[in-house]
Every structure is written in C-alpha cells, then in structure tokens.
Amino acid sequence: MDSTGCTPVKCICTCSDTFYFEGEVGTAETDVEEDTFTMSMCKSRWVRSEDNKFLHLTTDGQFQVQNLTELPREKFQIQVYRDSTSQRGQTGRAVILYMKSGRENMVVCCDDNHKICSRRMETLPKDIEDDSHPALFYMRQLSTDRFEFESSSYKSEYLGFEPDGDNPSHNKLVLHKKNQTEVDFRGIVLV
C-alpha cells in the first residue's frame, strides 16, 4: 500500500496500548493508490569493471567495455526511483542506467532472450507501475565503490562483463545468473 496516500479516519478512543478508529478503511470507497516506482534523484558516474575497463557508448549506439587511455568524457546517468513499498527495499534501490546521445537517452535494457541491449528513449518513465521493467535494475552496494545490479525482469540475473569473442581487449555488458551466496566478480560494477 502507498504510505503517502491518506484515508480519513477518526480516533474514537484509546485503551491500554491500543488505538481504536472509525472510518472507511479497507472498503471499496477508499482512494488507495497502487505501489509504484517514482522518479527521484539522478547520479552521474563512470562504470567500470573489476579490471579497470570502462563502459562507454560506441558511435553506433552499443554499450562496450574496453581499456581506455583516459577517462571517458561522458558519464553514465543512474536514475534512482523511489519505491512506494518497504518490502522491495531489501532487494536494493530501483535504478535505470543510461547515457545521453544527443537529445536521446541510450538505456541499458534486458531483451526477451536474457541479453543486454541499448534502447533509445526520448524521456525516461516518470513512474513505473510494475515490479519488472526491461530497463529497471536493483542496485545494491557491496562496499564503498562496488555495486551489483539485479535485473527486475529476470530475478537472480545481474549485470556483468564478459570478454567479447571478436576482440580480446573489449568486454561486453551481459546478464549472468548468480547464486545469492556466491561472490562473482563478473557482476561487480564499480561506479
């Protein structure tokens, strides 16, 4: 239930350690809002792998991880979404990762085949009504500069880096399965 919504009730008495109310609580007439993710703050960060390769956006709009001689000019934007439930807070902060490309946002998304792709979005969603969205990840801080990003679409699958078969100096952004108890450095992303 949305903790910011209000339903008028009247306190009729207190007895010992109990409060008694009268009102329309729990009826069809109450105006209770659904649980949602609502756009909150946005952070700018570089995203890099454990072996100091930086994630960047290529000229053809793809996300790629590679050794760079200098820091990338552009940082990733991490759009944080405020969660209207307290239960989901255990899974991490709801975020969308993207990079600006002209007037469009190139967003990190999961496709139907459990793969990572970039999608153009003119504007990011202000509110996300469902628990899962192709661009929504749960960001958990593991230490000062280490985070993991769990897909909201595919539970127990995390953003990580794997070598690109075509070019050994490049890595690609992937989703990989992880057991909750294992430490897997492929999924640790430094921001």
Condensed to tens digits (0 to 9), the pLDDT of residues 135-182 reads: 999 999 888 888 899 999 999 899 988 888 777 777 889 998 886 676
Question: Cβ(147)–Cβ(140) under 8 Å?
Answer: yes
Closest by alpha carbon to 115, among 60, 68, 172?
A: 172
Write down the pTM of the prediction: 0.74
Q: Is pLDDT at 25 greater than 80 in this prediction?
A: no
Pick from 31-45, 73-87, 109-123: least confident: 31-45
Q: What was the pLDDT predicted at 187?
A: 65
For the segment 58-78, what is each residue's pLDDT rounded down to a tens digit? 888 888 888 877 788 888 999
**pLDDT, mean over the chain:** 79
Domains parsed from the chain with CATH numbers: 1-33 (no CATH), 37-190 (2.80.10.50)
Q: What was the pLDDT predicted at 99?
A: 93
Residue 15 pairs in a beta bridge with: 18
Q: Is pLDDT at 4 greater than 70 in this prediction?
A: no
For the segment 91-146, what is each residue's pLDDT rounded down to a tens digit? 789 999 999 988 889 999 999 999 999 999 999 999 888 888 999 999 998 888 88
Higher pLDDT, 187 or 14: 187
At 28, the pLDDT band (50, 70, 90 cuts) reads: very low
